[in-house]
Structure 1
């Protein structure tokens, strides 16, 4: 039953909806679907095999009644080996949660707990930004150029980025995005301090357009997090895939 319900839960979030994007990258969807199908098949096959090939497993009374050749052994152990321990039913809890109440994607709480781990990674020149205004960038692209680009290709350019809102206790707010390599377990926060604009509610998703606000020496801790002088802040619907790919 646990295998069947686990398979159904995995298929629910990967085959019949896009909920899997809360936890893993889009490229892992086929593997989730295959895993769900295998869990379903193994669970059903296991139930059929036990029912038809080992029907006696359902006739024992808590392992206390058995044939004469095994009665002493069963009595000594005090339980029936044909059934799993009752504590195994606790595994139903995470399965039921995933099936009935899929947890949301990581948000501001996870981002606030992520310590800044930027260190000098070597200053260098970046390629020129595309022509046209504004330039659409991910937070990762903007942060890399703001902190490490010796050519300062962001200078004087209007950029546009999407993310969710996080705040400090002093009222400073940030456009934030979580980056993942594989799944939510390896998520890392990237954030940009937003200036010259009122802070929207925490965890709300917005599009921010503005210009780079230089500060600190390139590659130093003082340059992080990068800052943006906002020209406009627009509320948007949370994207289906809330994470950026590293």
Structure 2
């Protein structure tokens, strides 16, 4: 790989990072809050590639390993792998870490719009006290069907998709369960921890509405 080609690889890699940072695909790989860092990294790589192509340096030794850098770059640029989904959610759910602060108060009436991860956290670390006999409205995707309904799942990430962990809710639904992978909004009564384990809450669904995948699929 010549110096000029190395500079081109840096430019392409930087351009892909910038494209991800300014587009909507970034949330499939990392937390949205990292957008400024990804944009800055892409800009630095573009500048480094441009400088390397302009400045005169001694010829670099030939190396075929450098071409391997193009594999993930081209994959993201051309194929754009989707966010993690059903296959990752098939892993056994784990207990969520204890929250660093208390839980905020919920609305006094009406269906409560609440993140799926918050339902799991409140069930594990607060015994679901504020959720008892409440009607919740939760967004997630169908991980799998069960004898009584389906499992609603959401993947939670700390930094990036590589550390994704599944959070599940056992949904009892007398109607026909949506197919695995379908994103839905579930409205239903909170039942506490399910028979699947103390880390899996249960809802009795009164309404299940198919929706498009949210802009941020994790959370």
How high is the TM-score relative to the length of structure 2? 0.85
Structure number with the higher strand fraction is 2
2:123 maps to which of 146, 152, 165: 146
Question: What residue is the counterpart of 2:112 in the other structure?
Answer: 135
Maintained 8 Å contact 2:142/2:183: yes
Greater Rg by CA: 1
In structure 2, what is the Cα distance between the partners aligned to 1:24 and 1:215? 30
Superposition deviation, residue 199 in structure 1: 1.5
**In the alignment, what sits opposite 2:90?**
112
Deviations 1:166-203 (A, max 9, x none): 11576852111111122112211111011024211111
Q: Give runs of aligned pairs for residues 1-246 of structure 1, distance below 5 A.
A: 1-15=8-22, 17-50=23-56, 54=58, 57=59, 82-113=60-91, 115-118=92-95, 128-150=105-127, 152-167=129-144, 173-196=150-173, 197-215=175-193, 222-244=197-219
In structure 1, list runs of 5 or more residues that go unmatched.
58-81
CA RMSD across the alignment: 2.6
SS across alignment from 1:130: coil
Contact 1:177 1:189 in 2 (8 A): yes
User: CA 1:154/1:243 → structure 2, altered by over 3 Å: closer, same or farther?
Assistant: same
SS in 1 for 2:110: coil
CA 1:134–1:101 in structure 2 vs 1: closer, same or farther (change >3 Å)? same
Deviations 1:184-236 (A, max 9, x none): 1221111101102421111111000000123469xxx8323111000000011
Would you say how many aligned residue pairs link Structure 1 and Structure 2? 209
Contact 1:194 1:228 in 2 (8 A): yes
Give me the TM-score of the superposition, normalised by structure 1. 0.76
Shift of 1:41: 0.8
Of stretches 184-193 and 86-95 in structure 1, the one that deviates more from structure 2 is 86-95
Tell me the equivalent position of 2:3.
none
Cα pair 1:126 1:153 within 8 Å, conserved:
no
